[in-house]
Every structure is written in structure tokens, then in C-alpha cells.
């Protein structure tokens, strides 16, 4: 399915990063967008950058009732939705033994339940039209695990499994389910993360941010371009960035030993 004028796309987490880049790229293709984000200032900036009218709402995707109300507003305004990008997400860097239930639930409610809430809010209208695409944002950490990312990996592996199972459930309905696995993307997700220590046990947040900036290989606009190109090509699993592609291969070749290989490479890089 190609992007075209007259189509409607919903993007959560549109106030920055990949979400903002997706909104810009979709508008450039003639698609009408409806946008949501918890960060009102960032969302307003995105709308201003688009230079076209766009429905936008402050939204906590962890709040089921709020997501359902947002869906009702979008459908009332536009009548249908062709593309749903469940993109909103947060990060949490803590070891399992340090993690509190409060932080764990915070992340899971946004990164996993937010995807479920968005899907259930918009899927019925897509099924009625026998048309639509649901795009769920997993991660490189939905393909592999890494220290201090147990909560994040749990959510992103869950998004992957949920989406792949949904793909089978939706067979022959006309509605597609696509999972996206970005690698290191140049966004503010690490700066906004809840943080106790990095994967080497260091507590210097600024150093963590510098390390992430150094290894993040793909710009947000580059990520959006890869995602939209993959969707138009009919891909059901989209890897974003050379690092995601390479590490996907590595985890298939060494499903038990990839951590040791990567740790050795990490020592060389640092």
C-alpha cells in the first residue's frame, strides 16, 4: 500500500524523535496526520513544523480511556484511519535488583500497554473497512537483551510477539500488522530515561548520554524514511539502521553467545 493524499495516519509519541520525523515524512507524502504525545510543548512544536492543520492531543498512552477518547476524536474528525503508528515509548536503565515496581510498571504501561491500547482503540474501525495498517514500535532490544534493560527488553520483546501473533489473527481481514526494530537512533530517549546506572555499573548520566550519542547510527529522519519505505514495500518486519541489521544476524548465529561477542567488541570501542 502506497502513501497517498486522502489517507489518514495516527502517530503517538509525535512530540520528538522518530514520531516527529514520521509526522513530517507522512505530511510530505500528502497524508493527513493526527498526533499525540504526553509532552505538550514538543507536540505543539511538531505541529508548527508541519505547516499544515493537524489534529493533536496531549495523551498518556498508558491511560486506556484517554486513548479511546483520542480515537473517537480522530474518527469523528476524519472518518477513518489508514495507518496507526504506536510509537510512544520511554526508557529505564536499572538492574533487576535495583528496579522498583513503580518504575517497572511505568515503563510497561507505556511501552507495552500503550501499544495494546492504541491497537484496540483503532482496530475495529479498520476491520469495518477491511483496510489499514498497524505499525508497532519494538526495538533492537526486542531482538536481543542487554544489561540494565530488562524492563525495556521485556516490553519490546512483548511488542514483537504481540504484533507477530496479531498478524496471523488478521490474516485475510485486509488489515496488516507490522513490527519495527530500530537500532541506535539519534533521539532524546536516553536523556529522558529513568536511570540508576549504565551497563558497566557507572552512575555518570552525562557519560551515558555521550556514549549513546557516539553509537547512535541513524537520524530520526533517516529512521522514518526506512520505516515508510519498508511499509510501502509490504514488509512485515522492519529493521532500522545497519546496527539493527547486523545484530539481528548476530543473535541468529549466536543465540546464546552474542552477549560475549558484543562485550568483547565494546571493550575495544571504549
Instruction: Determine, yes or no, domain membership for 175.
Output: yes
Residue 257 lies in a domain: no
**CATH number for the domain that contains residue 54:** 3.40.50.720
What is residue 231's predicted lDDT score, i.e. its pLDDT?
98
pTM of the model: 0.94
Q: Report the distance separating Cα 114 and Cα 86, nearest Å.
A: 8
Q: Which pairing describes strands 175-182 and 32-37: parallel, antiparallel, or unpaired?
A: unpaired
Strand (E) or helix (H) holding 85: strand 83-86
Q: Is residue 42 domain-resident?
A: yes
Q: Is residue 268 part of a domain?
A: no
List residues with catalytic annotation. Answer: 152
| 230-269 as b/e: b if 16+ CB within 10 A | bbeeebebbbbbebbeebbebbeeeeeebeeebeeeeeee
Which residue range is the domain that position 34 belongs to?
8-243
Q: 270 pLDDT exceeds 60?
A: no
pLDDT in tens, 223-249: 999 999 999 999 999 999 999 999 999
Which percentage of the chain shows pLDDT scores above 90?
81
256 part of a folded domain: no
Q: How far apart are CA 2 and CA 181, in angstroms?
A: 21
CA atoms of 237 and 57, how far apart (whole Å): 29
For 214-227, write each residue's pLDDT tens digit. 777 899 999 999 99
Which pLDDT score, from 0 to 100, does residue 128 have?
Answer: 98
Domains identified in the chain, total number: 1
Q: Are 159 and 181 in contact (CB under 8 A)?
A: no
Spell out the long-range contacts of 211-217 with Cβ–Cβ below 8 A and sequence spacing 24 or more: 211/270, 212/184, 213/186, 215/184, 215/243, 215/269, 216/184, 216/185, 216/186, 216/187, 217/183, 217/184, 217/241, 217/242, 217/243
Per the CB < 8 A criterion, the answer to whether 172 and 215 are in contact is no
In a domain, 248, yes or no: no
The answer as to whether 193 is a domain residue is: yes
Amino acid at each position: 500500500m502506497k502513501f497517498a493524499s486522502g489517507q489518514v495516519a495516527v502517530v503517538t509519541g509525535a512530540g520528538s524523535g522518530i514520531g516527529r520525523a514520521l509526522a513530517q515524512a507522512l505530511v510530505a507524502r500528502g497524508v493527513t496526520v493526527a498526533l499525540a504525545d504526553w509532552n505538550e510543548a514538543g507536540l505543539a512544536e511538531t505541529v508548527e513544523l508541519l505547516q499544515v492543520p493537524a489534529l493533536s492531543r496531549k495523551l498518556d498512552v498508558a491511560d486506556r480511556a484517554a486513548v479511546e477518547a483520542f480515537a473517537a476524536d480522530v474518527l469523528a474528525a476524519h472518518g477513518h484511519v489508514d495507518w496507526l503508528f504506536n510509537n510512544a515509548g520511554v526508557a529505564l536503565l536499572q538492574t533487576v535488583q535495583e528496579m522498583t515496581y513503580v518504575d517497572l510498571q511505568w515503563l510497561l504501561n507505556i511501552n507495552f500497554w500503550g501499544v495494546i491500547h492504541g491497537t484496540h482503540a483503532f482496530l475495529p474501525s479498520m476491520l469495518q473497512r477491511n483496510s489499514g495498517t498497524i505499525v508497532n514500535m519494538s526495538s533492537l532490544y526486542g531482538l536481543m537483551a542487554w544489561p540494565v534493560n530488562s524492563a525495556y527488553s521485556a516490553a519490546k520483546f512483548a511488542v514483537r510477539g504481540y504484533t507477530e501473533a496479531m498478524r496471523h489473527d488478521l490474516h485475510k481481514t485486509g488489515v496488516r500488522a507490522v513490527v519495527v526494530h530500530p537500532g541506535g537512533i539519534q533521539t532524546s530517549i536516553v536523556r529522558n530515561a529513568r536511570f540508576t546506572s549504565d551497563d558497566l555499573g557507572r552512575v555518570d548520566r552525562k557519560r551515558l548520554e555521550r556514549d549513546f550519542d557516539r553509537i547512535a547510527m541513524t537520524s530520526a529522519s533517516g529512521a522514518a524514511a526506512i520505516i515508510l519505505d519498508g511499509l510501502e514495500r509490504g514488509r512485515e518486519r522492519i529493521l532500522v539502521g545497519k546496527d539493527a541489521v547486523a545484530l539481528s544476524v548476530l543473535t541468529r548465529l549466536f543465540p546464546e553467545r552474542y552477549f560475549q561477542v558484543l562485550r568483547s567488541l565494546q571493550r575495544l570501542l571504549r
